[in-house]
């Protein structure tokens, strides 16, 4: 399996494990559907992700319409740019691109550790997890994101390692890793604006990546933002494909 497909499967499993703990999650014909208990317009909290290229994409889209139609919600369809059939099926039901073609990146070896400036540790205590939520909320400039992760019981999801970076006693960044089979995925890399361009994102990502390899991953994947691309490239990640995310209006049940 190529790294893009492996990463797509990891992404689908991650949203099911985290959002689906308290929210809504359903296996579709050829993929995974997930939605939080709240109507949140976020690509991780209202997600339709196709994983089986052998399954008719129209069947997957029909299942997504039924699932989100029951919830009366719009949703995000994650579409690899090389999946022309899925793209056509999503556009046919009114899907509109959000204007971003997110690079999918992967790495197949641990990242060498040199001199470090920050202390990164697994967030296992309520205090560390509160710091994690604060960091991703500020990093993504998305008020309520930290609260939502806690409320949806995402922190209890099996297979996820939540990590917080500290400069002394001060939290400065966060990221999490998710292991599914032999593939690890990096998610929610968040650095507040006042701590950017100081190496925080690189160090917390490095820590999560190496933790995933230590747990048995053969590859680690992530979906890069424009801001994070150079950081991940410097760490040794390479582009393995691109996603285009489509916003699909709330279907009629």
Domain that holds residue 134: 119-241
Say whether both 138 and 75 belong to one domain. Answer: no
Asked if residue 134 belongs to a domain, the reply is yes
Whole-angstrom Cα distance, residue 67 to residue 72?
Answer: 9
Q: What is the pTM of this model?
A: 0.96
pLDDT tens digits along 216-232: 999 999 999 888 999 99
Say whether both 79 and 131 belong to one domain. Answer: no
pLDDT tens digits along 98-147: 988 889 999 999 999 988 999 999 999 999 999 999 999 999 999 999 99
Say whether both 142 and 237 belong to one domain. Answer: yes
H, E, C per residue of 71-130: HCCCEEEEEECCCHHHHHHHHHCCCEEEEEEEEEEEECCCCCCCCCCCEEEECCCHHHHH
Asked if residue 8 belongs to a domain, the reply is yes
Do residues 209 and 247 make contact, with C-beta atoms less than 8 angstroms apart?
no
Asked if residue 146 belongs to a domain, the reply is yes
pLDDT tens digits along 4-42: 999 999 999 999 999 999 999 999 999 999 999 999 989
The DSSP element (H or E) to which 184 belongs, if any, is strand 183-190
């Amino acid at each position: 399996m190529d790294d893009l497909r492996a990463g797509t499967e990891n992404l689908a499993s991650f949203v099911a494990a985290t959002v689906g703990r308290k929210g809504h999650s359903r296996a579709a014909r050829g993929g995974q559907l997930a939605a939080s208990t709240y109507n949140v317009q976020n690509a991780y909290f209202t997600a339709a992700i196709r994983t089986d290229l052998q399954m008719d994409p129209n069947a997957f889209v029909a299942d997504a319409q039924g699932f989100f139609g029951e919830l009366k919600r719009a949703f995000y369809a994650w579409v690899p740019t090389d999946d022309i059939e899925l793209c056509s099926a999503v556009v046919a039901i009114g899907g509109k691109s959000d204007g971003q073609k997110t690079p999918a990146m992967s790495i197949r070896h641990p990242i060498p550790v040199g001199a470090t400036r920050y202390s990164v540790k697994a967030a296992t205590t309520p205090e560390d997890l509160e710091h994690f939520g604060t960091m991703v909320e500020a990093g993504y400039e998305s008020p309520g994101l930290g609260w939502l992760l806690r409320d949806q019981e995402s922190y209890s999801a099996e297979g996820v390692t939540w990590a917080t970076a500290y400069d002394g006693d001060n939290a400065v960044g966060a990221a999490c890793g998710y292991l599914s089979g032999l593939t690890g995925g990096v998610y929610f890399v968040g650095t507040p604006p006042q701590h950017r361009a100081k190496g925080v994102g690189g160090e917390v990502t490095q820590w999560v990546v190496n933790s995933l390899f230590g747990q048995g991953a053969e590859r680690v994947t992530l979906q890069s933002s424009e801001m994070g691309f150079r950081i991940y490239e410097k760490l040794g990640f390479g582009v393995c494909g691109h996603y285009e995310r489509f916003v699909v209006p709330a279907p009629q049940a």
